[in-house]
Amino acid sequence: MGSIRLENVSKRFGEHAVIPGIDLEINEGEFVVFVGPSGCGKSTLLRLIAGLEDVSGGRILIDGDDATEKPPAKRRLAMVFQSYALYPHMSVRNNIGFPLKMANVDKAEIDRKVEDAAKILNLTDYLDRKPRALSGGQRQRVAIGRAIVRNPECFLFDEPLSNLDAALRVNMRLEISELHQTLNATSIYVTHDQVEAMTMADKIVVLRAGNIEQVGSPLELYKKPANLFVAGFIGSPK
Ligand code: ADP
Ligand code: MG
């Protein structure tokens, strides 16, 4: 569960072909990082996969089924954004449980799922606090908790750490990698940070102006960059 296949997926905004056409295979349980400079189409590609944008052409298959026309709620994906988008007036408990409440899940089950997620994320002692009484890293964990309770087959992260300071970023990187090991869900992680890509990915997808320059493991990209752009971006000698 959680495999994703893009077949010639394209996206244009008016005259601007942001993504001319992408083919990509993401395997079940993989941690895939989309990396590339600002404006190259990383967020757009993630939003197409999530169903938050309609494709201009091509197909998106999730677990082998055509999901191109499916609304976001039917795709079993959960998106974690860089701005935490927490509700300031709600406790951590209610923030994490919110998607379940919206889905009319009964209260006992919401409580159980929220407490399980809080345990995984080390938030058990903070469930009754409001977001303003949390650190940046804790807020980011609450946002991840809200994704976890929906039990998705795939997590989509859009630069989730870019608002955090450098030390915290290193910590959260490890936490997200550990979370991936624990939950075993497919993850797609968008970043413009090469270090994040190299340290977190099973598979890196290097994007430039809406095209894939190279797909490979961190080691493959480092040892055999396909071109100077990849070499320069990954920081390997070529
Ligand atoms: P990245 O996440 O890699 O920084 P984006 O996917 O946000 O890049 O943007 C890629 C390109 O698409 C940019 O040129 C951006 O201006 C354009 N773009 C993104 N969203 C829209 C939109 N809703 N309408 C028009 N242009 C957009
Ligand atoms: Mg972006």
Mean pLDDT on 96-100: 94
| pLDDT above 70: percentage of residues in the chain | 97
* pLDDT for res 83: 64
Q: What's the rounded Cα separation, in Å, for the pair 126 and 91?
A: 9
Q: How far is the CA of 102 from the centre of ligand 2 (A)?
A: 27
C-alpha torsion sign, points 164, 169, 174, 177: positive
Residue with CA closest to ligand 1 atom 14: 39
Among residues 13, 22, 9, the alpha carbon closest in space to that of 208 is found at 22
E strand map for 1-82:
4-13, 16-26, 31-35, 57-62, 65-66, 77-80
Tell the burial category of 147 from Cβ atoms under 10 Å away from its Cβ (0-12, 13-18, 19+): buried
pLDDT tens profile 119-159: 999 999 999 999 999 988 899 899 999 999 988 999 999 99
| Higher pLDDT, residue 30 or 84 | 30
CA 237 / ligand 2 centre spacing (Å)? 27
Do the beta carbons of residue 12 and residue 18 sit within 8 Å?
Answer: yes
**SS3 assignment, position 157:** strand
> CB of 39 closer than 6 A to ligand 1?
yes
pLDDT band at residue 89, thresholds of 50, 70 and 90?
very high
pLDDT reported for residue 96 = 96
